[in-house]
Amino acid sequence: GQVAQRWAKTPTVVLIAQNEQGWLNLCALSSAAYLDAGEMAEPGVPWGQVVDKSDGLILLSGGPDGPIDPLFVQKKPAEAAEALAEMKRVFGDRFYVELQRHGLSSETVAEGGLVEWAYANDAPLVATNDVYYAKAAQAKSHDALLCISDGAFTGQEDRRRVTGEHWFKSAEAMRELFADLPEACDNTIQIARRCAFLVKTHKPILPRFDTGAGRSEDDELAHQAREGLKARL
């Protein structure tokens, strides 16, 4: 199988809002990931925060960039099983073991352990596809854009890349890809049916600007505009 460089330095999972409470928790986690990142290489939150904000959320275990697959690849099945059990403990029937098939050797190595654990622990499987471009024919163009972004060359071995399978596959293509595990595709429909929340639109919620001079925000804007004009005349 092909080998692709990991995109994420911090292990990633998928969280899906099932209802309004889930949406609020997802927003809180997203904000915390950026506001509390500190010295982290990438925005992220510790597992403890996910546990605290798990109500109303559906969890997928993550693919090659997740916390589980690398443990199977590193021949640490006991640690992988422990992490999967913790996810199931917190999310219960809102937890799905995620499978991806992009032709990566890491996916092939991890899949056996993932499926075995899911069957042994009555956890549902779900098939997903990590999408980076719309059509299969755009693979080379996307690869060139990655090189431009990273200042690399297409012939360079040690660089960021994805496979030719990271396109937006149709339901039929996914069914064909997971023909041996049809329930993994069926569960994508189940997840969609479990999500019954539509985000309400509202006016932007902007922070209040402290003028420090007793003026309203409109008056402060007018004041700064006049002062700026004077400085330029």
**Below-70 pLDDT ranges, the chain:** 1-9, 40-41
pLDDT value for 9:
66
Say how many Å lie between the first and final Cα of the chain, rounded: 67
What are the structure tokens assigned to 203, written together?
């006016």
When the candidates are 3.90.1170.50, 3.20.20.140, 3.40.640.10, 3.40.50.2000, the CATH number that belongs to 14-131+169-194 is: 3.20.20.140
Contacts of 183 (CB under 8 A, 6+ apart): 124, 125
How far is it, in rounded angstroms, from Cα 200 to Cα 151? Answer: 41
How far is it, in rounded angstroms, from Cα 66 to Cα 8? Answer: 9
Angle between helical axes of 105-120 and 77-91 (0-180°, round to 10) = 60
Q: Where are the domains of the chain?
A: 14-131+169-194, 132-168, 209-233
The strand ranges marked E within the chain are: 14-17, 57-60, 95-99, 125-127
How far is it, in rounded angstroms, from Cα 62 to Cα 50? Answer: 14
Global pTM reads 0.82
